[in-house]
Each structure stands twice: as C-alpha cells, then as structure tokens.
C-alpha cells in the first residue's frame, strides 16, 4: 500500500536524462529498477518519520489527552507548556546538562587525543579502554553509576571505610546536585568517542608543516595553539553536533540513574515528554514538548547535514 | 583516518611525558572503575557488599548472583530471571540488523551508482531521520503498530528498528560505494550486466568491511535501545534493557545489588563481546556516524 506513494516520487524524478533516441522498453525498465529498489526504504522513511512528525505536530495543536482527538485548540498546549514549572525545570536541567556535557567531553576528548598522539607506548592497549563504555547500554551505565555514587554503599562509604571520615559525596541524593551526576555518567560514556574523533583529526595533520614550524623555533604549546588545534575545526564541529543531539535525546541514562529524581531534580525534556504523554495522559502537551525537542535538534542538524552533503558534490 | 601514520613531529621532554603517562593511567582507571567494580561485586555474597568495602576483592566467591539474575530474579511480577528477555532481545536484533543492512546496501548502491535528479535530497531526508528525537514519533508509532496488529510484539519492534536504523546503514554504504570506481560498473553494463547482477557480482564481494561496520553498529544500537522497548513491547517481547531496568529499579524487598550487577553485565555482554572482537569496525562505524566518511 505504501509503495504507490513513493513510486510516484521516484517517477517525479524520472524526467531527467532526456535522450535523443527513444529508449526501448527494456532500457526503460532497467532505468526504473534503481528507483523501485529505493522506494520501499523511502516509503518507510516518508511515512514513519515525516508522516509521523506531521501527525505529532498536528496533535500538539489539539486537546488530546489519553487518546488523540482532532479538535483544533491553536497554541494552547504551547502556552500551557511554557507556564508549567515542571517544563521549565526540564529545560533548565537540559541547559546545565548539555552545556557541561559538551564542554567536558570536548575538553577530555581533546586532551586524551593529544596525549595519545605523543608516540605513547601502549596506545593500542589504552585506546580501547577509553572507548569501551560507548559499547554499553545507557541502562548498564546508569546501573553502575547509580550504585557507585550511592553514599550508603558506594564511593562515600568506601572512603569512610578507608579512614577518610569527613568525605562527602551525596550528589545523587541531593536535589541541587543530582543533575551533575548525570553529567558525570554521560561524560564517562561518550568522552572516549570524542577522543577517537580528535585523534583521527590529529593523525590527518600534515607533519611537514609542523617540522617547518619547529625549525622556526615554535614551542610545542604554540604549535598546538596556532597550528594544530585550528586545523581540528571539522572535528570540533562534528563533536559538537553529535554531542548536542545526544544530550537532547538523553532519556535512558536519566531513567536508569536517577529516574528523574530526587523529586523532579533531574527531569529533562525527554522524560517530561514521556511522563506527560503516557502516564499523565496529557498527550497534547506531550506532543508539543516533542515538537520543541525536534525543532531544537533540527536547528543544529539541518545546517550541518546541508553543509556536509553539499561539500561532497 | 586509519591509513595516517602515528608518526608525530612533536617532541616532548621527560617531565611532560611523565605527566602524560600519569594522566592517561588516571583516565584509564576512571573508565575501568565503575564497570570493573561492578564485575568484582557481582561475585560477592550480598552481606559482603552492604557490610563491606566495594573496592575489596570477594572473600567468598559465589556465582549465585549470576545464576539468580539469569534464572530466577524477580522481573516485574514474574520470577523468571533475565533469560527470557535475553532471547527476546536476540529475536528482535537478528532480523532487524539483517533487514536494515540489506536495505542500506541496496540504497547506498542506488544513491552512488544509479544517480538520478534529486537523489541527494532524498538521501538528506533519510539521513536527518537518524537524528530526530524519537519522542516525536512515539505517539503515532504506538497507533500504527496497533493498526497493523503488531503492537507489543517482536515483529513490531523489528519494524521500528529497521525504520530508524535505515538512515545510518544507507549512510555507511553510500560513503563506502562512493569511492568505488564507477568505470567498473559502466564496463559491466556494456557487457550486458543488469542492476542486480552488478550488485551481486561486483559490489557485494568487495563490501565485506562495510557490512561488518553496519552489522556491528546496528547490533549495538538495537541491543542497547531502551526507549522503543519500553514504549512498544509487551511482557513476552520486552528486550533485555527494559528487563534490566525493571530488575534494578524494583522497589519491593531487599535490594540485591550483586544480582543487579550480574544482570547489568549480562545485558552488556553481547555488545562488549562484539566490541572486543571487532572494536576496529565499531570505531569506524562511530566515526562514519558523524557523517564525514
């Protein structure tokens, strides 16, 4: 049933290549095959991604609660959404989380990459250690850190047993600091990946320029500051884009680590959307929060993808 | 990225080098610690965890927590252990990975070797689909799965994962096939080979590495997914991540940390194994995921 929609899309693109000689049936059939092959995937994407986006956007303008209804209420949901304290907490948390997460991951990633790039013995041994958390599920990461940071049995408890009685680290139970524990766990999971991106960038830098600068008496510090780091611009950009979209989508980690708590202290837009839509039966508001998330990501991804795809031509 | 040499013109002094090694070792400890401690504590009896030091090696070594996590731990309401959910995950992952990789390969082939007007826009549309926050599709997806009669089932989850993995698999194969010499295709065409014959005889035999990349990426992503599993699965199709979360966050009774740890490691094991065996390809997939091929 879906196939029809896209073969027409494919056909629409069919009028290119006007040949002088009218092609016979077999050639025309051959020319059609690639588009036919592409069409199922395209149909899936058009329906399940773009169709669904349109549907969700529409829902965000309706008074849907437990089930979708189709009465138009205009911007009411958005007005309600931005008056909700719950939502402003989520936005503020996302701001803190995304800002720190991106900054710290980039700093650690770049430092580790520069360190590893100094002809380090055991690089082949260290690199996989830095990167393995990326292969884990956020639920596993959350489980490990939830317990490690639990003051009753984790790090704080251990420090006490080791004789450091005054050591205190109860952030995960503390409303004002819990969001920072999400940052710690998320940085642990992805900073190795950022390291790999920067390392690839560093390995791509032409050594001749560096040697020339060395002959001119440039110090290591200056070479990094003036020559090497500026050349890593594409890696910085990729890291920023990937990290920010991961930050906005963060859901699993928060669920596993803090469950949004204590109280609502670590609520983020992704958990907000889920609870409003599926447990509080405020589907219209849930949909409008999802639309805000989508627009934020689109504002970052669309220009980036556009630039990337243009470059390739 | 893989061909560049590790040679670096920068030279560092002895003190700097000592500092660098120190930092690298500190960070290695940071990355190993939470998971490593989890492994150590998963073979301790519960009393040693609640009463003792998490850094200490087990005084009594026991596999009881592992067996319990696998066979008999309380997940939700049933004391089934994680075993059935492990199989649920496998039953979901294999078809989803296979289908999305095959489609991705065909798409990449079309988008690079059978180009037509507007193909870059279509690819852009597919690519953007990878990055959307999935919250935007949750509500309509729940309804469509219900409409198709596959709500709460493994086939439903397979469909979901195929759809939202397509963008990445297409990206991998497109970037890979882009540098494949088009003259070879033209020559084969002149010899009378058609679309599928060229794909089967010329493209596929040289696609080994990128197939591995795509399979590993999809496997890791789908195995680790939580949002779709939590939203669209019933008890008899719930994947491992959802079951693990139920196990760990269940509030009834004594918190059996050792069982939780064993469960978490069980959930991590398949992707970790893949990472250990084929880490190189995993990293390659990650890097290609940032679009630059």
Residue of B nearest to A212 (CA): B9
SS3 assignment, position A258: coil
Chain-centroid distance, C-alpha A178: 21
> Would B254 be classed as within a structural domain?
no
CATH number assigned to the domain comprising residue A126:
1.10.3720.10
Report if residue A70 sits inside a domain.
no
- pLDDT, averaged across chain A: 84
Considering the domain architecture, whether residues B227 and B282 belong to the same structural domain is answered as: yes
B79 within a domain of the structure (yes/no): no
Contact B119 A313 (CB under 8 A): no
Same-domain pairing of B92 and B229: yes
Return the residue matching tokens 């996302």.
Answer: A94
**B114: in domain:** yes
Same domain, A110 and A44: no
Whether residue B74 lies inside any domain: the answer is: no
Q: Are residues A50 and A95 in the same domain?
A: no
- My answer on whether B111 and B27 are in the same domain is no
Report residue B56 as tokens: 């200490």
| Same domain (yes/no): B101, B37 | no
Residue A104 lies in a domain: yes
Same domain, A111 and A8: no
Query: What does the pLDDT average to over A168-180?
Result: 84
Asked if residue B213 belongs to a domain, the reply is yes
Total domain count, chain B: 2
Domain count, chain A: 2
A76 found inside a domain: no
Strand partners of residue A291 = none
B281 and B153 in a common domain: yes
B279 in the same domain as B161: yes
Q: Which residues of chain B have pLDDT under 50?
A: 1-6, 292-293
| CATH number, domain containing residue B191 | 1.10.3720.10
CA distance A207 to chain B (A): 6
- pLDDT of A13 reads 40
Which chain B residue is nearest to residue A215, measuring alpha carbons?
A: B9
Cα-based angle B275, B278, B282 (whole degrees, multiple of 5): 65
Determine, for residues A158 and B53 on separate chains, whether the beta-carbon distance falls below 8 Å. Answer: yes
Total CB pairs under 8 A between chain A and B: 301
Interchain proximity B20–A138, CB inside 8 Å = no
Residue A311 is predicted with a pLDDT of 63
Sort out which chain B residues have CB atoms less than 8 A from A134's CB and list them.
Answer: 282, 286
Any domain includes A221: yes
A261 touching chain B per CB within 8 A: no
Is A50 inside any structural domain? yes
Residue B280 belongs to a domain? yes
Among the partner-chain residues B129, B244, B292, the one whose CB lies closest to the CB of A45 is B129
Residue B19 is encoded by which pair of tokens?
Answer: 């500092």
Would you state the pLDDT for residue A121? 86
Contacts of B231 in chain A (CB under 8 A): 278
In a shared domain, residues B44 and B93? no
Q: How far apart are the first and last CA of chain A?
A: 34
State the DSSP code for B78. Answer: B
List pLDDT tens digits, range A23-34.
Answer: 677 777 878 888
pLDDT of residue A90: 92
Q: Is residue A268 part of a domain?
A: yes
Query: What does the block give as tokens for A255?
Result: 């669920």
Name the residue among A162, A193, A34, A298 with its Cα closest to residue B282. Answer: A193
Which residue of chain A comes nearest to B287, CA vs CA?
A197
Per DSSP, the three-state class of B174 is: helix
Task: Note whether A11 and A160 are same-domain residues.
Answer: no
Q: Is B5 helix (H, G, I), strand (E, B) or coil?
A: coil
Backbone angles phi, psi at B187, to 5 degrees: -60, -45
Say yes or no: B160 and B43 in one domain. no
Is the pLDDT at A12 greater than 50, yes or no? no
Residue A158 has pLDDT above 90, yes or no: no
Question: In this complex, do B139 and A148 lie within 8 Å of one another by their Cβ atoms?
Answer: no
Instruction: Please check whether residues A146 and A231 belong to one and the same domain.
Output: yes
Q: What angle do CA A11, A15, A16 make, to 5 degrees?
A: 120
A145 versus B47: the higher-pLDDT residue is A145
pLDDT at A15 over 80: no
- CA–CA dist A79, A75 (Å, integer): 6
> B56 and B105 share a domain?
no
Say whether the ipTM exceeds 0.85: yes
Is position A74 within any domain? no
Are A297 and B245 in contact (CB < 8 Å)?
Answer: no
Quick one: CA dihedral B162, A274, A304, A247, positive or negative?
Answer: negative
Distances (CA, A) of A69 to A61, A222, A288: 10, 63, 14
Q: Considering only residues 81 to 120 of chain A, which have any Cβ-Cβ distance to chain B shorter than 8 Å?
A: 108, 111-112, 115-120
Return the pLDDT at A16: 46
Mean pLDDT, rounded, for A278-287:
89
- Flag whether A231 is in a domain: yes
Asked whether residue A248 carries a pLDDT value surpassing 80, the answer given is yes
Q: Which candidate in A143, A221, A284 is best for mutational testing of the B interface (most B CBs within 10 A)?
A: A143
Phi then psi for residue A123, to 5 deg, are -60, -45
Full domain range(s) for residue A104: 84-311
Q: Which of A33, A38, A69 to mutate to test the interface with B (most CBs of B within 10 A)?
A: A38
User: What's the pLDDT at A3?
Assistant: 37
pLDDT for A6 beyond 60: no
Q: Which chain A residues are within 8 Å of B268, Cβ to Cβ?
A: 135-137, 140
What is the tens place of the pLDDT at every residue in A195-217? 988 998 888 888 888 888 888 88
3-state secondary structure of A306: helix
Same domain? For A51 and A128 the reply is no
Based on the domain organization, do A114 and A51 belong to the same domain? no
Q: What is the mean pLDDT of residues A155-178?
A: 82
User: A236 vs A167, which has greater pLDDT?
Assistant: A236
Which chain B residues are closer than 8 Å to A156 by Cβ?
none
Q: How far apart, in whole angstroms, are the C-alpha atoms of residue B271 and residue A178? A: 29
Same domain membership, residue A106 and residue A12: no
**Shared-domain flag, residues B134 and B274:** yes
Token pair for A71:
């009465």
Domain housing B98: 84-238+270-289
């Amino acid at each position: 049933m879906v196939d029809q929609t896209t073969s027409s899309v494919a056909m629409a693109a069919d009028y290119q290549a006007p040949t002088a000689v009218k092609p016979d049936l077999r050639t025309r059939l051959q020319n059609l095959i690639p588009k036919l092959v592409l069409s199922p995937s395209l149909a899936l994407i058009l329906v399940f991604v773009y169709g669904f986006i349109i549907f969700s956007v529409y829902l965000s303008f309706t008074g849907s609660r437990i089930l979708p209804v189709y009465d138009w209420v205009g911007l009411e949901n958005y007005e309600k959404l931005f008056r909700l304290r719950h939502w402003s907490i989520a936005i503020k948390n996302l701001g803190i989380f995304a800002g720190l997460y991106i900054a710290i991951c980039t700093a650690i990633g770049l430092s580790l990459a520069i360190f590893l790039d100094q002809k380090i013995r055991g690089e082949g041994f260290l690199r996989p250690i830095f990167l393995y958390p990326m292969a884990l599920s956020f639920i596993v990461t959350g489980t490990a850190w939830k317990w490690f940071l639990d003051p009753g049995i984790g790090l704080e408890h251990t420090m006490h047993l080791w004789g450091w009685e005054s050591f205190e680290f109860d952030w995960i139970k503390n409303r004002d600091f819990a969001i920072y524990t999400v940052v710690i766990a998320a940085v642990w999971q992805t900073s190795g990946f950022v390291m790999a991106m920067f390392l690839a960038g560093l390995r791509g830098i032409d050594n001749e320029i560096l040697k020339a600068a060395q002959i001119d008496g440039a110090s290591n510090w200056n070479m990094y500051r003036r020559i090497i780091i500026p050349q890593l611009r594409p890696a910085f950009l990729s890291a920023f884009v990937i990290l920010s979209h991961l930050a906005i989508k963060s859901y699993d980690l928060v669920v596993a680590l803090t469950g949004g708590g204590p109280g609502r202290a670590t609520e983020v837009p992704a958990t907000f959307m889920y609870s409003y839509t599926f447990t509080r039966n405020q589907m219209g508001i849930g949909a409008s929060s999802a639309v805000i998330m989508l627009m934020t990501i689109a504002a970052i991804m669309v220009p980036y993808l556009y630039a990337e795809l243009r470059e390739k031509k | 990225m893989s061909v560049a040499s590790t040679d670096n013109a920068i030279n560092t002094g002895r003190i700097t080098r000592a500092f660098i090694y120190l930092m690298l070792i500190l960070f290695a400890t940071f990355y190993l610690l939470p998971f490593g401690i989890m492994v150590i504590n998963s073979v301790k009896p519960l009393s040693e965890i609640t009463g003792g030091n998490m850094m200490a090696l087990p005084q009594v070594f026991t596999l009881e927590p592992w067996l319990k996590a696998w066979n008999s731990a309380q997940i939700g309401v049933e004391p089934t252990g994680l075993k059935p959910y492990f199989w649920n995950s496998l039953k979901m992952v294999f078809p989803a990975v296979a289908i999305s990789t095959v489609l991705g390969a065909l798409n990449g082939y079309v988008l690079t070797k059978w180009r037509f007007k507007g193909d870059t826009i279509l690819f852009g549309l597919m690519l953007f689909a990878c990055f959307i926050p999935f919250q935007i599709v949750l509500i309509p997806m729940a309804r469509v799965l219900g409409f198709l009669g596959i709500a709460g089932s493994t086939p439903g989850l397979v469909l979901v994962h195929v759809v939202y993995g397509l963008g990445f698999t297409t990206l991998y194969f497109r970037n890979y096939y882009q540098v494949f010499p088009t003259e070879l295709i033209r020559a084969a065409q002149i010899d009378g080979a058609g679309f599928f014959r060229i794909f089967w005889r010329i493209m596929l035999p040289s696609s080994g590495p990128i197939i591995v990349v795509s399979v590993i990426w999809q496997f890791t992503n789908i195995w680790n997914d939580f949002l779709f599993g939590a939203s669209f699965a019933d008890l008899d199709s719930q994947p491992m991540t959802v079951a693990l979360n139920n196990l760990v966050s269940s509030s009834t009774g004594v918190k059996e940390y050792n069982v939780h740890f064993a469960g978490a490691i069980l959930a991590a094991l398949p992707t970790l194994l893949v990472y250990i065996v084929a880490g190189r390809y995993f990293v390659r997939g990650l890097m290609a995921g940032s679009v630059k091929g």
